Structures are given as C-alpha cells and as structure tokens.
Amino acid sequence: MASIELRNITKIFRDAKRKRDLLAIDNVSLSVEKNEFLCLLGSSGCGKSTLLNMIAGFEKPTEGSVTVGGKAVDGPGADRGMVFQQANLMPWLPVWENVAFHLRLKGWRKADRRDAAQDYIDMVGLRGFENHFPAELSGGMSQRVGIARALLLNPQVILMDEPFAALDAQTKMDMQEELVAIWQKQRCTVVFVTHSVDEALVLGTRVAVMTSRPGRIRELIALDLPRPRDTTGPRFNDHKRHILNLIREEGLQQRQAAVA
Amino acid sequence: MNMTGQGIRAMTALSKSWERAVVPLFILAAWEVFSRSGFLPAALLPAPSVVLHTWGDWIFGFDETSQGNTGRWLADALSSATRVAAGYGIAVVSGVALGIAIGWWRWVERTVEPTLQMLRPVPPVSWIPLAIIWFGIANKPAIFLVFLGAFFPILMNTIHGVKTADRNLIRAASMMGATEQQLLRHVVFPAALPSIFAGLRIGIGAAWMLTVTAEMVAVKSGLGYVLWDSYYFLRYDLVLAAMASIGLLGYATDALIKVLMSAALHWQHGSTLQSREG
Ligand SMILES: Nc1ncnc2c1ncn2[C@@H]1O[C@H](COP(=O)(O)OP(=O)(O)OP(=O)(O)O)[C@@H](O)[C@H]1O
Ligand SMILES: [Mg+2]
C-alpha cells in the first residue's frame, strides 16, 4: 500500500484583492511508497510548498484527494512531521523546549521532556545550545532545531521544505548524510522539496521534476545509485545531465510562451 | 590609567543618575527660591520644603501640620490602591480573556465587537453619574470606573496581539498535534504577550487616573479625596503632597509591571529595539 497518494490534485488560489485566480497546481497525481525518499524538484514559485502543504493538511486541494497511510487528509497531524522553509520556532521557548514541544502538548513532565529532547539535539549537532532562544541562533541552527522537532514526532511521514537551503556547503553535506542515516534507521517516508539538482540526486530514491507554473509533474526518475552517492560518478552525472536538460527545455518553453 | 572595567561602569552609572537628577533638582531649587521671594502669597504656592514637611506629617503624624490627616497617609494610600487593584484586576482578567476570544473566533468578533466599539468612545468619567446611581457612594463606583478605564486599552491590545500572531507558528503547533485549546494556551497567548503588556501599561495609568477622579466625586476616602478636600480648605501644600503621592504610586505600579514584563518577555532579549536600551 502506498504511503502517500495524491489523486488528480488541482489547486487554485483565489486572489480576492486582484480579482484573479492563480492556478498553482494543475492535475498532479503521485504515489509515494512506504520507505521511499522522494525529492520534489522545481524552480521557485512552481508550487512545491503548496503541494507539501496539502500533504501536511495546511491547504485543501481545490480538486482531487490526498491520502496518507490509507486515510484521507483533513488537517494537520503529528503523523506527518514537517520541516518548514522558515524554521518557525516559538521565539519564547529555548531550543530544547522547541524540540520537545510535541511532548509539552502531550502533558509530559519537564524533566522527561528535557531528556527526550537531548537525543535529537545531539543528532542535529546543537549540544551546548539547549538553553538558547531562537533569536540567539543563526539561520542554519534554527533550521536544525526545526529538523530535530520534526524527528521527535517519530512520524511515518516526514515532509521537508528546502530545509538545507540556508546552510553552508559543509554543514549541508553533513546534514544530508545525517538525514539519510536517520531515514534508513527509522524506516519512514520522506518527501523532500528542493530546487537543487545535486541535492535531489544525493538524497532521493526517486526524483519528481516539476514544471514551472502551473505546477505539474514533468517526469519521475527512479534512482538506483548506491549510497553514499558518488557525486562525480558517470551515472550520477547522466542523471544530472538529463534533469538539467528537462529544466532547460522548460525554461525555453516558458520564454516562448511569454513571447507568443 | 589603571581603572577596572567595573569601576568605569560604576562611574558611568553614577554620572547617568546625576544626569537624570539635574533637571528636577534645578526646578525644585528655583521653585523654593520663588516661593520664598514673597512674589505670591505663600499659601498659594507653598515651597517644596513646606510641602515635604506637610507630607511628612501626613505620613508619620509628628506635629499635625496636616491637621485631620495627620498620620493617615498609609490608610489613604491603601484605600486608593485597593480600588486600583480591584478594578484593574477585573479589567485584566476580562480584557485578556475577551480579547483572546474576539481575536481568535470570528463569530465572537462579529457578535460582541460592534457593541464594545460603541461603548469605547464614551469617556469613563462620563459614567460617574450612573455609577453613583447604581452603586452609591463607596468603593463600588470607583472600582467600576477603574475597570472601565483599564479594560479597553487591555482589550484592544490583546485583540491586536492575537490577530498579529504568526500564522506559521500556529501551523507548526498544529503539525505537532495541538488542539484548538492548546493552540490558544501554548501559541496564541505567548505570541500576544508583548502586545498584552503594552495594554497593561496603558491600563494602569488609566486606573490611577480614574481612582483619583472617582475619589474626588463619589468616594469619601483615598488620596483623591484628600486632594479635593484640601483644595476646599485652601491647603495647597496638602494638594501638592497628594499629587506627589499619586504620581509616586502610579510610577511604582508601572515599574512593577515593567519588571513583570521583562521577566515574562526575557526571550525577546537582543531581538528587539527596546531590549537594546539595557
Ligand atoms: N496562500 C497563497 N495565496 C495566494 N497565492 C499563493 C499562496 N501560496 C502560494 N501562492 C502562489 O502559488 C505559487 C506557488 O507557490 P509555492 O510557495 O508553492 O512555490 P514554491 O515552489 O514553494 O517556491 P519556492 O521554491 O520559492 O519556495 C506561487 O505563484 C505563489 O504566488
Ligand atoms: Mg516554497
């Protein structure tokens, strides 16, 4: 049974102010198997976040249906952990309270929450920053708190919206390795949004290349490359060339459409 | 040139408090000189030293310069403070609760807010006649007025705080399985807290203003009553002492709220303009 099933999803944003409707997602169907690591690849504004938000339950599709684990999605829930494009940490809580926020909601005692948070704080390399407040963290550090917070939910599905976009090359590589290790260990399903071809190829078991607005799935590419991925190997580069060509064609069509 | 950093800091702190004191000290000195010059009858503008003397007697009761009020300051201050505490307390609880409800639920906003917006422009002081008819001459009309004065600033600021809460934080919390009640308690309320405190500080000012007004008109005790009563007996030294007392208590309660605020909002430290003031 598929873990996530998108059936004929269309999303139209009604723009009341400008009296204009925006077709953000156009008839997307996609199914993600259990334990799959799917990378959604597309240019800025093509609807990646919108698609992810519909799986998370923050947005409702205008048409079509979303099911996760066989159940129709009708709102957000702790079975789907999300790492947001902006970290979205509670600014009034220190790092460890942010990581353990879910346990606070479940009514755990403070000492237990603190213990449970520590593993995840260590996992994302923030030991020593437990008592810092979000205003005292760098962008990349905040993002890592957001990742720890989603992992602590121990969800079946993790949704990640360009979580590493703000990180430097070194930290990004470390975090990517860490993420793959966690995914292999926890046997969860990951949907990972990115606009970096390399990142998609390093992480994914499959890559969904999206078209620019309105968002559609242009091509689904299965990656059977061994891990850890060799970013200089010929097969990696074959995939990369192929995807870059798709993107180039896409850009060309866009410009022609704009001229016509 | 071997001053320690600590020494320098202590020196600048000292010179800073001097800076603050210069203007008030100058005014007091000029006032003292002016009053003693005999330019105006001494009873009309008592010198600061005279006011201080009367004030001292009002507080400690050493020579009955404040006549019937001698030694009664604490009782007067307490009865004013009690009215402030009661009216302000009711305003805080109801203003914050209603403000969160109005900010969060559209249907509450639609049903309740129009009525409140109609009542809001009516100055609290203009309620005095009705307050006296309803509650008589005692504590109750004063508490009612204090409540009215503090309620609206607290309410409006709470509504504002709730409405400007970051939607993404609410998303993050509901992603972690928060129920509506948990969202209100763990996200919306703390997010609105900076704005709520702004309302609390405006509210406490209004609370003192209205206690004093009520005591001048509708109550027979408290600092405001002494102030108005002394005016009838041409005791301007007592009037000034009462004014100073009210100012001082107002300042103290505001300082208390500021302490509570910086404790509750310590997480803002370093992230806002205000926190830079040190
Ligand atoms: N709440 C909204 N109301 C109106 N339009 C929206 C809303 N959210 C997104 N859009 C529009 O939908 C389109 C897709 O937005 P989305 O945020 O999904 O893009 P994205 O692929 O995540 O881009 P990026 O890589 O820059 O994050 C954009 O044109 C955007 O303007
Ligand atoms: Mg996005």
CATH of the domain at B101: 1.10.3720.10
Q: How confident is the model at residue B5 (pLDDT cuts 50, 70, 90)?
A: low
Together in a domain, B118 and B242 = yes
Whether residue B277 is predicted with pLDDT greater than 60 in this model: the reply is no
Q: Residue B106 CB: number of other CB atoms within 10 A?
A: 9
Together in a domain, B89 and B31 = no
Letter string b/e over residues B230-241, b meaning 16 or more CB atoms within 10 A of that residue's CB: beeeebbbbbbb
Together in a domain, B153 and B254 = yes
- Rounded distance between C-alpha atoms, residue A202 and residue A233, angstroms: 12
Of B171, B172, B177, the CB nearest to A77: B177
Give the residue from A52, A60, A64, A86 showing the smallest Cα distance to A190: A52
Together in a domain, B229 and B184 = yes
Together in a domain, B98 and B150 = yes
Beta-carbon contacts below 8 Å between A and B = 69
CA A116 from chain centre, in angstroms, equals 24
What six digits make up the tokens of B271? 């992230």
Contact call for A104 and B186, based on CB within 8 A: yes
- Rounded distance between C-alpha atoms, residue A143 and residue A137, angstroms: 9
Together in a domain, B136 and B24 = no
Domain carrying residue B12: 1-39
Together in a domain, B229 and B132 = yes
Reduce the DSSP state of residue A182 to 3 states and report it.
Answer: helix
Strand arrangement of the beta sheet that strand A2-15 belongs to: A20-33, A2-15, A63-68, A71-72
Q: Which residue does chain B place closest to A86, by CA atoms? A: B168
Of A76, A86, A149, the CB nearest to B174: A76
Q: Which residue does chain A place closest to B171, by CA atoms? A: A58
Together in a domain, B9 and B102 = no
pTM exceeds cut of 0.90: no
> Which residue's CA is the nearest one to ligand 1's atom 1?
A13
pLDDT value of residue B271: 65
Number of domains chain B contains: 2
pLDDT value of residue B59: 93
pLDDT value of residue B278: 42
Together in a domain, B94 and B14 = no
Contact by Cβ (8 Å): B88, B203: yes
* Any domain includes B51: no
**What residues are in contact with ligand 1 under a 6 Å CB criterion?**
A 13, 22, 24, 42, 44-50, 85, 195, 213
* Any domain includes B49: no
> Which residue's CA is the nearest one to ligand 1's atom 20?
A45
Contact call for A133 and B267, based on CB within 8 A: yes
- Rounded distance between C-alpha atoms, residue A144 and residue A149, angstroms: 8
Residues 6+ apart with CB under 8 A from B119: none
Whether residue B158 is predicted with pLDDT greater than 70 in this model: the reply is yes
* Any domain includes B107: yes
Together in a domain, B102 and B186 = yes
Whether residue B145 is predicted with pLDDT greater than 90 in this model: the reply is yes
pLDDT in tens, chain A (260 residues): 568 999 999 999 988 777 788 888 888 999 999 999 999 998 888 899 999 999 999 999 999 999 998 888 999 988 899 999 888 999 999 999 999 999 999 999 999 999 999 999 998 889 999 999 999 998 889 999 999 999 999 888 999 999 988 788 888 888 898 889 888 888 889 999 998 999 999 999 999 999 887 888 988 999 988 888 888 889 999 999 999 998 888 778 777 777 76
DSSP assignment string, A220-231: EEE----SS--T
Together in a domain, B29 and B95 = no
* Any domain includes B173: yes
